[in-house]
Amino acid sequence: MSKDLPLFYVPELNSERFQYLVGDEATHGIRVLRLEVDDEILITDGRGRMSSGVIASKSKRSLDFELLEDLEPEHKEPGFHLAIAPTKNMDRLEFCVEKCIEIGLGKLSLVICQNSERRQVRVDRLQKIAISAMKQSRAAFLPDISEPLPISDFISHERSEDLFIAHCRTGEREFLKSNSSPACLLIGPEGDFTESEIEEAVANGAKPVHLGPKRLRTETAAIVGCTLMNL
Amino acid sequence: MSKDLPLFYVPELNSERFQYLVGDEATHGIRVLRLEVDDEILITDGRGRMSSGVIASKSKRSLDFELLEDLEPEHKEPGFHLAIAPTKNMDRLEFCVEKCIEIGLGKLSLVICQNSERRQVRVDRLQKIAISAMKQSRAAFLPDISEPLPISDFISHERSEDLFIAHCRTGEREFLKSNSSPACLLIGPEGDFTESEIEEAVANGAKPVHLGPKRLRTETAAIVGCTLMNL
């Protein structure tokens, strides 16, 4: 797969010979990349499919492409599921999401905790960042991002084989180690999880973990956790 | 050491009983934290010393403290030396420096490469971010940050026991593994190191490494590298 061809996200990618780019993807191709007929492109559906194509026609607002062939994806589907309490400062959360997707993120959940200062998140903004990060890292997997959920609801519904809760309170905690099965890591807000949140998570099968000797900010903990889980 | 006491950076910390906070540190204590006489504080010199103190007197622009006792630092001195090509977007570099200091960074060098789009950096701004990140992570070590240097000059003067160069070009590369001795990791600019830069580094003893299967942005590579080197 050529590293240099521009990559587009087409969630509705099907098997038709002629298909089109829409919305932001078309605008980017037309205005920023200034693509012309016969230019080669790559297309992903964000669910593991990566295909080559060529621009077939062009108007002011749309770009049609001819689908050529399906390519072998370079990366496997990331198994890591991050469940994070949104940071007070949105920039920090956005940066963290971008970094985790570059490193390898299969799913993102947003959880609201007792100490959360931020309880609302514009998920559509995070989705745009996710698409951009997926394209930047030439990957074919776009993580699902779910609407914020109270932590109790999240914990009682989460069915990952391995659920880890990273916290800085006292009590026995193991250093987070990567494992081959898909796993979910819970990262708390500024001010950490409360004792009762940790107890509830543990009662639901979560294993308490730490991420090293230093106290990390929420977004740093998420990036470090993502790195460790992708080892 | 109480997690809750405010921590101040006093590079000139000595053994006198009465000393004072100056500049940004004093302003922060007076205007933001609104400290009063008899309030307890922590003080670090950024070179491993962490002491307790108590506010002795206060004026509009200065805070005097009485030095109480030296405390056992919670973290050991980080051995990791990051040499990074500054990113085009300064926010990305600043965020990366903050994250690396939280995780564990002993020294930061800025290197200018053939593909560098940014050749100048306000080191004083990075130093402020470094102080803030050190205090945030309750650490007593402030990394040295050196002025940008052409990569050739850097490589010919670098004397780390282990020097690693992370790149995405072809050629044999090992996955970066943590090791106990102090080590330096070179991270290239957007567009990567050139072949000749890699050759020069290898001729000077650098070992080529990669950071996993995915192509990472400059600042992401630095954070992942820092995490791996602190394992």
Domain boundaries, chain A: 7-71, 81-229
Measure CB to CB from residue B224 to each of A75, A138, A227 and give the nearest one: A227
Could you give the strand order of the β-sheet that contains A50-58, starting from the edge strand earlier in sequence? A7-9, A40-44, A50-58, A63-71, A18-21
Measure CB to CB from residue B137 to each of A138, A214, A224 and give the nearest one: A214
Axis-axis angle for helices A90-103, B218-229 (nearest 10)? 80
Do B223 and A228 make contact, defined as CB atoms within 8 angstroms?
no
Q: What is the pLDDT of residue A2?
A: 53
Minimal C-alpha gap between A230 and chain B (Å): 8
Amino acid at A198: I
Sequence-ordered list of residues with C-beta below 8 angstroms from that of B69, at least 6 positions apart, any chain: B51, B52
Substitution target from A214, A229, A230 for chain B, most B beta carbons within 10 A: A214
Which of A46-50, A184-188, B72-76 is least confident? B72-76
Considering only the top CATH level, what class is A7-71? mainly beta
Residue B180 C-alpha from the chain's centroid: 19
Minimal C-alpha gap between A57 and chain B (Å): 31
CB A165 within 8 A of CB A198: yes
Closest residue of B to A222, CA-based? B99
Do B227 and A224 make contact, defined as CB atoms within 8 angstroms?
yes
Do A214 and B95 make contact, defined as CB atoms within 8 angstroms?
no
* HSE (side-chain half, CA atoms, 13 Å) at B132: 14
- Spell out the per-residue pLDDT of chain B, length 231, in tens: 455 899 999 999 999 999 999 889 999 999 999 999 999 999 999 999 999 999 999 988 889 999 999 999 888 889 899 999 999 999 999 999 999 999 999 999 999 999 999 999 999 999 999 999 999 989 999 999 999 999 999 999 888 779 999 999 988 899 998 777 789 999 999 999 999 999 999 999 999 999 998 889 999 999 999 999 998
Measure CB to CB from residue A230 to each of B102, B137, B212 and give the nearest one: B212
Instruction: Identify the residue whose tokens are 């089109």.
Output: A20
Residues of B in contact with A213 (CB under 8 A): 74-75
Do B214 and A103 make contact, defined as CB atoms within 8 angstroms?
yes
Measure CB to CB from residue A215 to each of B137, B212, B214 and give the nearest one: B137
Do B213 and A75 make contact, defined as CB atoms within 8 angstroms?
yes
Residue A227 C-alpha from the chain's centroid: 13
Helix (H, G, I), strand (E, B) or coil at B16: coil
* HSE (side-chain half, CA atoms, 13 Å) at A178: 14
Taking one residue from A and the other from B, the number of pairs with CB-CB distance under 8 angstroms is 58
pLDDT at A195 over 70: yes
Sequence-ordered list of residues with C-beta below 8 angstroms from that of A148, at least 6 positions apart, any chain: A86, A110, A111, A112, A119, A120, A121, A123
Tell me how crowded residue A146 is: count the other CB atoms within 10 A of its CB.
14
* Cα-trace Rg, chain B: 20
Measure CB to CB from residue A139 to each of B137, B214, B217 and give the nearest one: B214
Helix (H, G, I), strand (E, B) or coil at B202: helix
Tell me how crowded residue A177 is: count the other CB atoms within 10 A of its CB.
11
Q: What is the pLDDT of residue B3?
A: 58
Cα separation, A133 vs B169, in Å, equals: 21
Minimal C-alpha gap between A102 and chain B (Å): 6
Q: Which fold has domain A81-229?
A: Alpha/beta knot (3.40.1280)
Cα separation, A43 vs A69, in Å, equals: 10
Neighbour-count burial for A85-107, b at 16+ CB within 10 Å, e otherwise: bbbeeeebbbbbbbbbbbbbbbb
Residues of A in contact with B214 (CB under 8 A): 75, 102-104, 137, 139
Q: Which fold has domain B80-229?
A: Alpha/beta knot (3.40.1280)
Q: What is the mean pLDDT of residues A64-86?
A: 93
Measure CB to CB from residue B224 to each of A103, A138, A139 and give the nearest one: A103
- For residue A2, report the phi and psi dihedrals to the nearest 5 degrees: -70, 130
Substitution target from B88, B102, B168 for chain A, most A beta carbons within 10 A: B102
Residues of B in contact with A210 (CB under 8 A): none
Flag whether the ipTM exceeds 0.90: yes
Q: What is the pLDDT of residue A85?
A: 98
Do B214 and A137 make contact, defined as CB atoms within 8 angstroms?
yes
Cα separation, A209 vs A172, in Å, equals: 8
Residue A101 C-alpha from the chain's centroid: 5
Residues of A in contact with B106 (CB under 8 A): none
Tell me how crowded residue A160 is: count the other CB atoms within 10 A of its CB.
18
Cα separation, A190 vs A184, in Å, equals: 20
Greater model confidence, B77 or A112: A112
